[in-house]
């Protein structure tokens, strides 16, 4: 920055005195005005142009006066009897700044004196015009037709009037010469020895403070605009629900969760639903591609591995995937698909038994999209579920996403609870809140959330020091820091489920 210097001329603004006629002389003073009026006058076009004229800038245009106005500042300090007016000019040349400040102060003094003389000037012009009129009448009367006596009398009368007006004019001119303003120079401007700007220390402190506010504002703006969840703790605070499990992003081509990963989820669900028999768990998500089908299949496998008679229902009749991930084909399934069961819920068909990773479980598959699934589910799903409840210890239902379609809202009221799968990188806060609001309205119990696609650099990596790179639940599961095994020791079916009369 180019160094700039401030030069200030200080003017005293006083009130009219009471001893002006002590020596038989009457002084005419300008009417008293507010100090702010002087501030406005100091930066007015007439005063600025007069100051520029003094500085040698003749016939200054609007642009020149405007540029001069930008380097001028006027500060007032008010008191009861008098006030101070500080006129400051800033420029790279300290001598010119001082000269300009003094010129502006003198121009303001001249403006104040002219304000005091303004009414007297009008009166002087009026008296002068009357005297000129009397002179014309005297000339006309002297050359007119009439008796000598009458003309002489008329001329003498006019002359007397003229003499009276002349005396008045002289008196007014004397008053005008004695007119004074209310301003006087208290301290003229002097060239500054040090530049007023730049001020590195002040600028650095100001930049540091503004930088803090700017960074804070950007962070707040980013937080306001970012509707995604940052981590599992963020999800837990936002949903006020326990995190039942956390699963890392699976490698490309992998569609099944390792048994170690699903053990914690199964344990949390078993403890949370220990009083429910049988357990009907709906696995869904707010939107598509959040890992719900992977979680449903992994949960069903884990339940079956722990000696629970388990049924997996592929109820996503719009975009079914879980049946294909279980390795089912049309030849294996035949007519044992969910659509056939819904069209004839009292039929004699049975689900398909599959063997996955050394465990056996039953699957009620959906191999292709069905027409009008919402109507089909609302008409027959409750009846079908009542029939199947007597045959299984646990039923896991892979349902469609909640917000795009109403299929899950038709299924959920008939289940024990809902588990919500949330993909950490993509799930939106607003969609999650809307999903939970829907379940609250229809009175459906949401057991908790399952977080999928957790970054390996996040919590999954931190808990990996205990032996596995998989998160675990916070609401009902084992205590943090417990040493996991190849599969978490969940209470067996005989411990949590009383034996029924039918032998299950």
Is residue 366 domain-shared with residue 434, that is, in the same domain? yes
Q: Is residue 144 part of a domain?
A: yes
- Tell me if 310 sits within 8 A of 355, measured CB to CB: no
Report the sign of the C-alpha dihedral through residues 478, 482, 488, 491, in that order: negative
List helix spans (H) across 291-402: 292-305, 322-325, 330-333, 338-343, 373-389
Q: Is residue 297 part of a domain?
A: yes
Is residue 425 domain-shared with residue 321, that is, in the same domain? yes
Q: Is residue 496 part of a domain?
A: no
The counts of H helices and E strands in the chain are: 17, 13
Q: Is residue 87 part of a domain?
A: yes
Query: With left for phi above 0 and alpha for psi between -120 and 50, is residue 347 left, alpha or beta?
Result: beta
Q: Is residue 95 part of a domain?
A: yes
Report the C-alpha gap between 333 and 366 in whole angstroms: 9
Q: Where are the beta strands (DSSP E) in 426-477?
A: 446-454, 471-472
Which pLDDT score, from 0 to 100, does residue 282 have?
97
* Number of domain units in the chain: 2
Is residue 19 domain-shared with residue 152, that is, in the same domain? yes
Pick from 170, 187, 204: which residue ends a domain?
A: 187
Which pLDDT score, from 0 to 100, does residue 213 have?
94
Domain span holding position 274? 232-482
Which pLDDT score, from 0 to 100, does residue 456 have?
60
Is residue 365 domain-shared with residue 289, that is, in the same domain? yes
* The pairing of beta strand 72-77 with beta strand 243-248: unpaired
DSSP-assigned beta bridge partners for residue 360:
355
Report the alpha-carbon angle 296-378-416, nearest 5: 45
Q: Is residue 202 part of a domain?
A: no
Is residue 178 domain-shared with residue 288, that is, in the same domain? no
Is residue 63 domain-shared with residue 126, that is, in the same domain? yes
| Helix or strand (DSSP H, E) at 46 | helix 45-54
Is residue 285 domain-shared with residue 170, that is, in the same domain? no
Q: Looking at residue 464, which CATH number applies to its domain?
A: 3.40.50.300
Is residue 253 domain-shared with residue 117, that is, in the same domain? no
Is residue 148 domain-shared with residue 28, that is, in the same domain? yes
- Tell me if 448 sits within 8 A of 473, measured CB to CB: yes
Cα distance between the two ends of the chain: 87
Which pLDDT score, from 0 to 100, does residue 473 have?
35
Q: What is the pTM of this model?
A: 0.56
Nearest to 103 by CA among 185, 193, 37, 35: 185
Q: Is residue 182 part of a domain?
A: yes
Q: Give exposure, 113-131, as e/b (b: 16+ Cβ within 10 Å).
A: bebbbebbeebbeebeebb
Report the sign of the C-alpha dihedral through residues 93, 95, 101, 106, in that order: negative
Is residue 254 domain-shared with residue 181, that is, in the same domain? no
Is residue 173 domain-shared with residue 237, that is, in the same domain? no
Q: What is the DSSP string of 228-246?
A: B--SHHHHHHHH-S-EEEE
Is residue 241 domain-shared with residue 181, that is, in the same domain? no
Q: What is the DSSP string of 419-431?
A: EEEEETTT-BHHH
The pLDDT profile of the chain, 504 residues, written as one tens digit per residue, is 889 999 999 999 887 654 454 455 566 777 778 888 989 999 999 999 999 999 999 888 899 999 999 999 999 988 777 889 999 999 999 999 999 999 999 999 989 888 888 777 778 888 888 888 888 887 877 765 555 667 777 778 888 888 888 888 888 787 776 677 788 899 999 999 998 888 888 889 999 999 999 999 998 888 777 788 888 898 999 999 999 999 988 887 777 888 887 998 999 999 999 888 889 999 999 999 899 999 999 999 999 999 999 999 999 999 999 888 888 888 888 888 899 999 988 777 789 999 988 899 999 999 999 989 999 999 999 999 999 998 999 999 999 999 999 999 999 999 999 999 999 888 889 999 999 999 999 999 999 999 998 876 544 333 333 333 333 333 333 333 333 333 444 455 444 444 333 332
Q: Is residue 478 part of a domain?
A: yes
């Amino acid at each position: 920055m180019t160094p700039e210097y401030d030069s200030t001329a200080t003017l005293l603004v006083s009130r009219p005195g009471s001893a002006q006629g002590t020596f038989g002389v009457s002084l005419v003073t300008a009417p008293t005005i507010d100090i702010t009026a002087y501030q406005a006058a100091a930066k007015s076009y007439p005063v600025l142009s007069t100051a520029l004229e003094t500085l040698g800038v003749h016939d200054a245009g609007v642009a020149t006066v405007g540029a001069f106005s930008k380097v001028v500042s006027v500060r007032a300090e008010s008191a009861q009897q008098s006030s101070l007016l500080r006129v400051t000019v800033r420029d790279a040349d300290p001598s010119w700044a001082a000269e300009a400040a003094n010129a502006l102060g003198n121009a303001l003094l001249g403006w104040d004196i002219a304000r005091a003389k303004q009414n007297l000037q009008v009166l002087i012009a009026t008296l002068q015009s009357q005297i000129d009129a009397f002179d014309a009448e005297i000339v006309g009367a002297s050359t007119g037709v009439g008796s000598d006596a009458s003309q002489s009398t008329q001329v003498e009368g006019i002359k007397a009037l003229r003499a009276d007006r002349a005396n008045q004019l002289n008196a007014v001119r004397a008053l005008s010469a004695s007119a004074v303003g209310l301003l006087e120079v208290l301290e003229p401007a002097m060239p500054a020895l040090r530049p007023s700007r730049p001020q590195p220390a002040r600028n650095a402190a100001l930049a540091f403070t503004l930088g803090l506010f700017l960074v804070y504002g950007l962070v707040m703006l980013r937080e306001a605009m970012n509707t995604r969840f940052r981590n599992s703790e963020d999800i837990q605070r936002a949903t006020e629900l326990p995190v039942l499990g956390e699963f890392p992003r699976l490698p490309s081509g992998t569609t099944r969760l390792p048994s170690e990963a699903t053990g914690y989820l199964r344990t949390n669900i078993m403890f949370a639903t220990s009083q429910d028999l049988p357990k009907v768990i709906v696995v869904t998500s707010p939107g598509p591609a959040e890992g719900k089908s992977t979680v449903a299949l992994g949960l069903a496998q884990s339940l079956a591995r722990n000696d629970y008679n388990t049924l997996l229902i592929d109820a996503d009749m719009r975009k079914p995937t879980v049946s294909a991930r279980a390795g089912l084909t049309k030849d294996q399934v035949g007519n044992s698909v969910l659509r056939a069961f819904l069209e004839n819920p009292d039929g004699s068909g049975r689900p398909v038994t599959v063997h996955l990773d050394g465990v056996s479980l039953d699957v009620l598959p959906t191999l292709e999209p069905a027409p009008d699934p919402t109507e089909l589910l609302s008409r027959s799903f409750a009846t079908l579920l009542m029939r199947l409840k007597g045959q299984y210890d646990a039923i896991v239902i892979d349902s469609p996403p909640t917000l795009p379609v109403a299929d899950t809202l038709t299924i959920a009221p008939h289940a024990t609870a809902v588990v919500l799968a949330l993909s950490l990188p993509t799930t939106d806060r607003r969609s999650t809140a809307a999903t939970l609001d829907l379940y609250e309205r229809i009175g459906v119990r949401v057991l908790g959330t399952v977080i999928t696609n957790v970054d390996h650099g996040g919590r999954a990596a931190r808990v990996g020091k205990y032996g596995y790179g998989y998160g675990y639940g916070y609401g009902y599961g084992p205590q943090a820091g417990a040493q996991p095994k190849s599969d978490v020791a969940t209470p067996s079916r005989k411990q949590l489920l009383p034996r029924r009369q039918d032998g299950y």
